[in-house]
Structure 1
Amino acid sequence: MGTRPRFDLVGRAAGLLGQRLLKLPPAISRDVTVERDLRIPTHDGQTLLANHWAPAGGDGPTAVIRSPYGRRGPLDWLYGRALAERGLHVLTVSCRGTFGSDGDFRAMRHEREDGLSVLRWLAGQPWVGDVVLTGSSYLGYTQWAVAAEAPVRVRAMVPHVTSSRLALSFLRPDRFEVETLLDWSVSTATQERPGAMMRALLGVGRKRVRAAMSTLPLVDADTAALGRRWPFYQDCLHHDQDDPFWSNEDHSPSVGDVTVPVSSIAGWYDIFLADQLRDYKVLAAAGREAHLTVGPWWHGHVGGMAAVLGDTVGWAAAHARGTEPPSKPPVRLFVMGVDEWRDFEQWPPTGYTHQRWHLAPGGELRSAPGTQAPPTSFTYDPADPTPSLGGPKLESRGAGPVDNRELEARDDVLVFTSDVLDADVEVIGEVTAEVWLRADRPSCDLFVRLCDVDGRGKSLNVCDDLVKVRPDGVTKVTVELSPTAHVFRRGHRIRVQVSAGAFPRFARNLGDGGPAHTATELVPTGIEVFHDADRPSAILLPRK
């Protein structure tokens, strides 16, 4: 345990750099202190380690951040110093089994009980003010874990790029998001090794992890990447989101019971977007004070980090101080394509109705359904799987909107493109595709992506998703793409991709209809996509 001297040139320089990089409000004072390795008892006799950052003067609200990623490095200055310099006490707590805290780390398993233990301990500290909960990703999940039972001194929450059920977002039945789950498993399994942060920044070991994603059967991928089984990865492989196994880790059923004001900050290309919008809708339907901000961000985007810290020191801290918080609309969306922020009263916004854009022979995308025409066919080969490109990713590298032309040139990707638009097409809300298909194997995947093609032919992905299909003859398949707010500008074209995979974002479907984690035989699947008057495959875009 110790206190950092008040005069700290390196720390002050880090605070100033963070302020400029994240466009934070000016610091009240750079004269902050930190007490490290405080010991917090849990309900079952374990001890969690924490750091306490104190602002100059000693008075102020208290921000609580619980993390499995350690209490030094980026967390130190990004939350600890940055918030303390702006008048908040900050308690950063290492989750059970990480960075000196007692016990074994089992992702998501102990966050409710441990979080409530932290809040009980915090109530007895002489320096504590009213409390705000804040943080991104797993740090946001730790907020949801205690939110429904939070004591009255918790005045506000700012969950960022997160979900009340976190990893369960990636565990739809018969579908496995191997890239996110294996990447995160390897990261958390190795993060306390000496030099782990530098190796991660340099990409050391990345090729091994990438190769492990191709391991068959999938149940051995963690061993290929780590040299041993990793409990979280195995839990995810063997228990989908509907399994009662996760009942203690799934906090989505209690979201409507949360009475703490919540400001949710999401990104259009974030891995948790759909779940985060669902959490917001549940809060709004229950009549709670809820705000939603969605920016043009992916999971680790600096713009999202700036937003969560800004809301913490402004809106949330005002709630904790008992002062009038800055005015916030219920919903604030960044509309891509025109690059502007707009305010709305709800999500999804009213006044938008779905317009069908039909897949047509010859790769056309039309507003009217086609006439009689043969289907368009392609072959999916799991030995040469259709790659994932851009979009939602756990790591920032390669995430977000990227040029899709190389992907669209593949034989296993069907492309349907509109005529050049003679007027802007504004799309805000939930996007759905209805595709009629037939496959020659018991199982296949259907991946649908919406793209914006500019006047030079550059094709940028807007939103997408994948579903598992067990075809029964010609089968109608519905895909709920990730929601969006995007304007296709006059002179651009709208494009829809149809394929049968996006690897390694999603594990390969080997087509045998059995469990994905035990399949090993690589057999191509032939797929036909229908687009005639009787089977009018289409994408449904919410338009005014």
Structure 2
Amino acid sequence: MTLLSRLYGVRPTLRHRVGVRRDVEIPAADGVRLLATHYYPMGQRRPPLVLLRSPYGRGSALDRIPKLLAERGYQVLYQSLRGTAGSGGRFDGFVIDPADADGTLSWLRAQPWFGGELATWGASYLGYAQWELAARDVPEWKVALIQDAPSEFARTFMYPGGVFALGNALGWVQLVDTMFTGGHSLIRQFLAVPGADRRLRRATHTLPVTDADRVLTGRRVPWFQEWIAHGPDEAYWQRMNHRANTGRMPPVVHLQGGWYDLFLPGMLEDHARLLAAGRRVRLLIGPWGHGKGLYTRAGMRDTLATLDAALLGRDGPTGTRVFVTGADQWRDLPEWPPAHQPTPWYPYAGGGLGRDPADRGAPPSRYRYDPADPTPTIGGTTVGMSAGPADNRALEARADVLTFTGPPLAADVEAIGPVRVRLYARSTTAHADYVARLCEVDGRGRSRNLCDGALRVGPDSEADGVRVLDIELWPLAHRFRAGNRIRLQISSGAHPRYGRDPSHSAAIDHEIFHDPDHRSAVWLPLIEGSS
């Protein structure tokens, strides 16, 4: 473990020998047997405990984190949720049975080695499980360390903008299926990698979508079928909505996210709610995709410093710290979002983008979207190695993608905060999807994505058929370099990141208006001093 501590730059002053108890049985409140691994620093009497609750198995790469923590003087209880890695009961996707936490807490309080101080840790599902833990009062809970996990599931993962997140949903189905069928063995998971991308690609193109899980895994996945059967506003999703638990979160919460993480907008909403509830919140946002920040020096150091401050009384980081892309530097902010000026940039007929509204009489821009050849996605907030910035030139060369590009910037322009797009649009169908993406174009013509967002709309328009659409894009902290250009993309698909609208199969014609009576625009959060 000394090697791992050196890798992260977090070597402890005193390195403890680590003891391990495997396959510890913990009874859930309903009698189901849950399994856990207990790590502890040898020679320490009742040190603080870090709890991790996971569906992803034990004995995997995540075991490095518990050992690193135990080496630093913490106990770690790494538990498998029901239906996973030997724990009894049935796994049900993102529905976590409350009996798991109820039984675990009762059992933990009865253990002679538990000293009465508790922290929780984890990324993605392990972070989401922390929000579920707050469904009950836990007075021993001192700090929650959450990476890439919001308290609410439907809007933040499954239906952002009302559009089903097909690629990310099936990607997670494939991940879980590979783990479960391989007995959580790393070797078996590694052997399953060849052909995985091909199977996922075939599944994402399967119609109807109800057959996609069978194409991917060879069988029906009950919770995937539930996801596609229920729209984002249905009561079904309340079982996966833990926002009401905010007031029972511990006194200190560390939130870590990435600019290219699918959960970032939801996590920032949680940040605001936690502050309003009187919690002390450390917010760290880096240049990462989903789950990547935890395994960086910046992410690990910041998280461990918060843990040590909460449980050992040491000085720890406070406030907000973000990585400004383009400038390639970390920035400490007094708040999120920082003071900024929402500034519109207007698209023009012919593909221009500027600070002045278009002239009267400007014709609309037009494109045709064909669900038989859906507009693909490149980079962005996808799950997996392809997340992040990418060269968008091949995407922008398609006839079903509009681009609006500003002139070369005379000076650096810095934008930190929320980004939104308003479109005045008309289509030949009552239902339609719209995708907006913000890019920066360098001097060689490379167009790299910064953030995007999607919106699914139904029958709702003015007498002339023009809809007014407000699309919330992912937030950003970015410096546009002098000489580069700002670009706005508009399309009606980002497949397979977003699934095709099942209500139509024929091609759809779209118009985007940008005359003085229909001022489509993208609003950038300019920081004082930006031109």
TM range, normalised to the smaller chain? over 0.9
Distance 1:310 1:332 in 2: 13
Report the equivalent of 1:155. Answer: 142
Report the equivalent of 2:33. Answer: 47
Report the equivalent of 2:525. Answer: 542
Give the letter aligned to residue 124 of structure 2.
S
Residues 241-265 of structure 1, C-alpha deviation per residue, up to 9 Å, x if partnerless? 3222222321012214434310101
Report the equivalent of 1:489. Answer: 481
Distance 1:26 1:257 in 2: 32
Q: How does 1:56-75 map to 2 (within 5 A)?
A: 56-59=42-45, 60-75=47-62
Given candidates 490, 493, 496, the residue that maps to 1:504 is 496
Distance 1:310 1:182 in 2: 33
Given candidates 106, 119, 122, the residue that maps to 1:135 is 122
Given candidates 446, 450, 464, the residue that maps to 1:458 is 446
Q: Is the 8 A contact 1:329 1:343 kept in 2?
A: no
Does the alignment pair 1:528 with 2:517? Answer: no
Report the equivalent of 2:472. Answer: 480
Does the alignment pair 1:362 with 2:354? Answer: no
**Cα 1:494–1:303 shift into 2, 3 Å:** farther
SS at structure 2 position matched to 1:296 = strand
Report the equivalent of 1:285. Answer: 276
Report the equivalent of 1:392. Answer: 381
SS at structure 1 position matched to 2:363 = coil
Question: How far apart are residue 228 of structure 1 and its match?
Answer: 1.5
The answer to which of 46-55 and 15-24 deviates more is 15-24
Give the letter aligned to residue 334 of structure 1.
F
Question: How far apart are residue 81 of structure 1 and its match?
Answer: 1.1
Give the letter aligned to residue 322 of structure 2.
L
Q: How does 1:325-344 map to 2 (within 5 A)?
A: 325-326=315-316, 328-344=317-333
Distance 2:155 2:104 in 1: 25
Question: How far apart are residue 329 of structure 1 and its match?
Answer: 2.9
Does the alignment pair 1:210 with 2:201? Answer: yes
The answer to which of 107-116 and 67-76 deviates more is 107-116
Report the equivalent of 1:419. Answer: 407
**Cα 1:260–1:26 shift into 2, 3 Å:** same
Distance 2:403 2:265 in 1: 25
Q: Is the 8 A contact 1:25 1:310 kept in 2?
A: no
Does the alignment pair 1:144 with 2:140? Answer: no
Q: Is the 8 A contact 1:132 1:317 kept in 2?
A: no
Distance 2:235 2:502 in 1: 27
Distance 2:207 2:331 in 1: 47
SS at structure 2 position matched to 1:490 = coil
Distance 1:325 1:240 in 2: 46
**Cα 1:139–1:307 shift into 2, 3 Å:** farther
Q: How does 1:184-199 map to 2 (within 5 A)?
A: 184-194=172-182, 195-199=187-191
Give the letter aligned to residue 253 of structure 1.
A
Report the equivalent of 2:306. Answer: 315
Residues 51-75 of structure 1, C-alpha deviation per residue, up to 9 Å, x if partnerless? 0011132242111001000011202
**Cα 1:187–1:181 shift into 2, 3 Å:** same
Normalization by structure 1: what TM-score? 0.91
The answer to which of 212-221 and 237-246 deviates more is 237-246
Q: Is the 8 A contact 1:147 1:260 kept in 2?
A: no
**Cα 1:112–1:334 shift into 2, 3 Å:** farther
**Cα 1:204–1:23 shift into 2, 3 Å:** farther
SS at structure 1 position matched to 2:180 = coil
Distance 2:428 2:232 in 1: 28
Given candidates 215, 221, 236, the residue that maps to 1:224 is 215
Distance 1:302 1:115 in 2: 27
Give the letter aligned to residue 94 of structure 2.
M
Distance 2:188 2:154 in 1: 23
Does the alignment pair 1:22 with 2:2? Answer: no
SS at structure 1 position matched to 2:227 = helix
Normalization by structure 2: what TM-score? 0.93
SS at structure 1 position matched to 2:240 = coil
Give the letter aligned to residue 240 of structure 1.
G
Question: How far apart are residue 31 of structure 1 and its match?
Answer: 2.2
Give the letter aligned to residue 131 of structure 1.
L
Does the alignment pair 1:295 with 2:286? Answer: yes
Distance 1:284 1:228 in 2: 44
Q: Is the 8 A contact 1:450 1:497 kept in 2?
A: yes
Residues 142-195 of structure 1, C-alpha deviation per residue, up to 9 Å, x if partnerless? 111112534221110110011112355233375200011111112212313334
SS at structure 2 position matched to 1:300 = coil
The answer to which of 469-478 and 307-316 deviates more is 307-316
Question: How far apart are residue 128 of structure 1 and its match?
Answer: 2.0
Distance 2:495 2:226 in 1: 21
Report the equivalent of 1:237. Answer: 228
Question: How far apart are residue 502 of structure 1 and its match?
Answer: 0.1
CA RMSD of aligned residues (A): 1.9
Question: How far apart are residue 510 of structure 1 and its match?
Answer: 4.9
Give the letter aligned to residue 20 of structure 2.
V
Residues 14-40 of structure 1, C-alpha deviation per residue, up to 9 Å, x if partnerless? x24433443433473262111100000
**Cα 1:112–1:290 shift into 2, 3 Å:** farther
Q: Is the 8 A contact 2:286 2:293 kept in 1?
A: no
Question: How far apart are residue 511 of structure 1 and its match?
Answer: 5.1
**Cα 1:302–1:428 shift into 2, 3 Å:** closer
Q: Is the 8 A contact 1:273 1:482 kept in 2?
A: yes
**Cα 1:308–1:488 shift into 2, 3 Å:** closer
Does the alignment pair 1:269 with 2:260? Answer: yes
Question: How far apart are residue 286 of structure 1 and its match?
Answer: 2.1
Give the letter aligned to residue 122 of structure 2.
G
Give the letter aligned to residue 310 of structure 1.
R
Distance 2:163 2:108 in 1: 41
SS at structure 2 position matched to 1:71 = coil
Q: Is the 8 A contact 2:451 2:473 kept in 1?
A: yes
Q: Is the 8 A contact 1:377 1:527 kept in 2?
A: yes
Distance 2:132 2:14 in 1: 32
Does the alignment pair 1:169 with 2:160? Answer: no
Given candidates 56, 60, 82, the residue that maps to 1:96 is 82
SS at structure 1 position matched to 2:245 = helix
How many pairs are equivalent? 515
Q: Is the 8 A contact 2:142 2:250 kept in 1?
A: no
Q: Is the 8 A contact 1:111 1:145 kept in 2?
A: no
Question: How far apart are residue 119 of structure 1 and its match?
Answer: 2.2
Residues 489-510 of structure 1, C-alpha deviation per residue, up to 9 Å, x if partnerless? 1111111000110000000125
**Cα 1:488–1:27 shift into 2, 3 Å:** same
**Cα 1:293–1:312 shift into 2, 3 Å:** closer
Q: Is the 8 A contact 2:39 2:77 kept in 1?
A: yes
